Amino acid sequence: MLVLGIETSCDETAAALVADGVTVRANVIGSQVEQHRPFGGVVPEIAARAHLELLLPVLDRTLVEGGATYDDIEGVAVTVGPGLIGALLVGVAAAKSLALAQDVPLIGVNHLEGHVFAAQLEYGLLEPPVVALVVSGGHTSLVLLDVDGGFTTLGATIDDAAGEAYDKIARFLGLDYPGGPEIDRLAQHGDPEAIAFPRALLRRDDYDFSLSGLKTAVVRELRRRQGAGQEISVPDVAASFQEAIVDVQVHKTLAAAREHGVEQVAVVGGVAANSRLRARMAEACEQARVRLLAPSPGLCTDNGAMIAAAGWNRLVAGERSPLDVAADPGLAFSGPRG
Ligand code: KG4
Ligand code: ZN
């Protein structure tokens, strides 16, 4: 079954064609980074307008690259939430029109579920149970994908999302937007033990995360050093900050896998592109004899292929969304399927 996936929940206008839930025929991303860069973050109104301008050209390119026509599409999957309402509405409206015009089933997909199923595009059909760390610009959650296909949220951030923390600290350090990749790059030349930043909630035996204290600690430490006339090594700050985030993420993910007796761990979402997180997670999984599913960075950040993959799973299970399905900016992870 050839599924068209559409993703417009934030600042990437993305579409993809995926065959049988695993084979990417085309995966096109119309990035809006340049439009948002002057503001150092995503501006919702700009995102919605840019989606309107970009979506049709992105769909055309997807078909050309996939060597397909609209008549070849057998199902349409679209992100219905969580995300920015104005941005979501553009993709949802387009998906409904296409499903209606082509008379093919429509399936609304949870963006976070999409991130988890990105793993399927590289590792083949997922065989639950899987514990997934979903870390992106808007989300930080630890979820359990059950054998029945349902999701349970084990924990989540109680304040900032991981990507948000990377982006805010990067801005504070005067780095380019988006900041995550910049910190990742700089950290490779820094000492992760140079500054002992706090590891929030590390010792608590739940799966929640907190990042605002770390952010404040970085700002305070930099001001203190500036005030004392000390030289500041930006790579050291980047490496130490990154290490504090990664430590907690790795520890909690493996603790969750252990507690639930799960032997597969997935690391997904934009922040899963982080090279230190990938390396440390690989090490920890090897030690714990747990299989690591870490899709390549291009599939970690927002894309349409992950939405098509997640949608395909639901379509083959017989699920359909009505043509009046609503976009839901605060959509939560769903319970068991059906
Ligand atoms: O999943 P995504 O593309 O969009 C959302 O759904 O939010 O994630 C974007 C986030 C941004 O905050 C960006 O700074 C972060 O992912 N990111 C990274 C890296 N690459 C992207 N953070 C840390 N290290 C990276 N290499
Ligand atoms: Zn995302």
pLDDT digits (tens, 9 = 90+) for 226-254: 999 998 999 999 999 999 999 999 999 99
Determine the Cα–Cα distance for residues 320 and 74; give it in Å rounded to an integer. Answer: 13
Q: Does ligand 1 lie within 6 Å of residue 274's CB atom?
A: yes
The 10s digit of each residue's pLDDT in 62-93 is 999 999 999 999 999 999 999 999 999 999 99
Q: Report the largest interatomic distance among the alpha carbons of the chain, rounded to a whole angstrom.
A: 68
Whole-number percent of the chain with pLDDT over 90: 89
Ligand 1 centre to CA of 270 (Å) is: 4
The pocket of ion ligand 2, defined by CB under 5 A, consists of 136, 302
Would you say residue 139 has pLDDT above 80? Answer: yes
Helix/strand/coil (H/E/C) assignment for every residue in 13-63? EEEEEEECCCEEEEEEEEECHHHHHHHCCCCHHHHHHHHHHHHHHHHHHHH
The protein residue whose alpha carbon is closest to atom 24 in ligand 1 is 274
What one-character-per-residue DSSP string does 247-296 give? HHHHHHHHHHHHHTT--EEEEESGGGG-HHHHHHHHHHHHHHT-EEE---
Q: What is the mean pLDDT of the chain?
A: 95
In this prediction, residue 34 carries a pLDDT of 87
Q: To test ligand 1's pocket by mutation, which of 33, 112, 136 has the most ligand atoms within 8 angstroms of CB?
A: 136
Q: What domains, with CATH codes, occur in the chain?
A: 2-118+303-336 (3.30.420.40), 127-295 (3.30.420.40)
Q: What angle do CA 65, 67, 68 make, to 5 degrees?
A: 115
Q: Does ligand 1 lie within 6 Å of residue 11's CB atom?
A: no
> Which H or E element spans position 80?
strand 75-81
Helix/strand/coil (H/E/C) assignment for every residue in 142-157? EEEECCCCCEEEEEEE
Is residue 254 within 8 Å of 133, Cβ to Cβ? no
- Strands 140-145 vs 130-135: parallel, antiparallel or unpaired: antiparallel
Least confident of 101-105, 175-179, 248-252: 175-179
Determine the Cα–Cα distance for residues 305 and 28; give it in Å rounded to an integer. Answer: 9
Specify the pTM. Answer: 0.93
In this prediction, residue 200 carries a pLDDT of 87
The protein residue whose alpha carbon is closest to atom 5 in ligand 1 is 137
The 10s digit of each residue's pLDDT in 303-317 is 999 999 999 999 999
The protein residue whose alpha carbon is closest to atom 2 in ligand 1 is 270
Determine the Cα–Cα distance for residues 136 and 138; give it in Å rounded to an integer. Answer: 5
Would you say residue 187 has pLDDT above 60? Answer: yes
Would you say residue 209 has pLDDT above 90? Answer: yes
